Amino acid sequence: MGRRGATGLAGIIAVDKPAGLTSHGVVARIRQLTEEGRVGHAGTLDPMATGVLVVLVGPYTRLEKFLSGHDKGYSATITFGTETDTDDAEGHVVRAAAVPAETFDPEAATCVLRGFVGASEQQPPVYSAIKLGGKTSHKVARAGGALDLAPRKVVVHVATLRGVDPTARTWDVDFLVSKGTYIRALARDIGRSVGSAAHLSALRRTSCGAISIETAVTLDQVAHHADNGTITDVFYDATAALGFPIIDATAEERLAVTAGRAIALPQPSADAAYFSVRANGSLRAVYRRDGERLRPDTVLGGAT
**Interval 283-304: pLDDT, tens:** 999 999 998 899 999 999 754 3
Average pLDDT over residues 49-64: 97
Q: Within a domain: residue 304?
A: no
Per-residue pLDDT at 255 exceeds 60? yes
Average pLDDT over residues 35-53: 94
Averaged confidence pLDDT in the chain: 91
Q: Which domain holds residue 276?
A: 244-299
What is the structure's pLDDT at 162?
A: 98
- Are 58 and 93 part of one and the same domain? no
- Are 82 and 204 part of one and the same domain? yes
Per the structure, the count of domains in the chain is 3
- Are 99 and 18 part of one and the same domain? no
Average pLDDT over residues 213-232: 97
Per-residue pLDDT at 135 exceeds 70? no
- Are 65 and 91 part of one and the same domain? no
- Separation between Cα atoms, residue 183 and residue 116, nearest integer Å: 12
- Are 291 and 280 part of one and the same domain? yes
Query: The domain that contains 283 carries what CATH number?
Result: 2.30.130.10
What is the structure's pLDDT at 1?
A: 32
- Are 84 and 204 part of one and the same domain? yes
What is the structure's pLDDT at 123?
A: 85
List Cα–Cα distances, 282 to 57, 88, 140, 146, 230, in angstroms.
Answer: 14, 41, 44, 46, 17
Q: Within a domain: residue 1?
A: no
- Are 172 and 234 part of one and the same domain? no
What is the structure's pLDDT at 266?
A: 84
pLDDT tens by residue, 143-195: 666 666 678 899 999 999 999 999 999 999 999 999 989 999 999 999 999 99
- Are 170 and 291 part of one and the same domain? no
Q: What percent of the chain has pLDDT over 90?
A: 78
Top mean-pLDDT range of 127-136, 208-217, 249-258? 208-217
Query: The domain that contains 168 carries what CATH number?
Result: 3.30.2350.10
What is the structure's pLDDT at 148?
A: 65
- Are 195 and 218 part of one and the same domain? no
- Are 22 and 99 part of one and the same domain? no
Average pLDDT over residues 204-218: 97
Q: Which of 239, 260, 284 is the last residue of a domain?
A: 239
What is the structure's pLDDT at 291?
A: 87
- Are 166 and 125 part of one and the same domain? yes
What is the structure's pLDDT at 3?
A: 46
Per-residue pLDDT at 79 exceeds 70? yes
Q: Within a domain: residue 4?
A: no
Q: Which of 198, 224, 239 is the last residue of a domain?
A: 239
Average pLDDT over residues 221-238: 96
Q: Which residues are catalytic?
A: 46
- Are 105 and 159 part of one and the same domain? yes
List Cα–Cα distances, 271 to 267, 289, 296, in angstroms.
Answer: 11, 9, 17
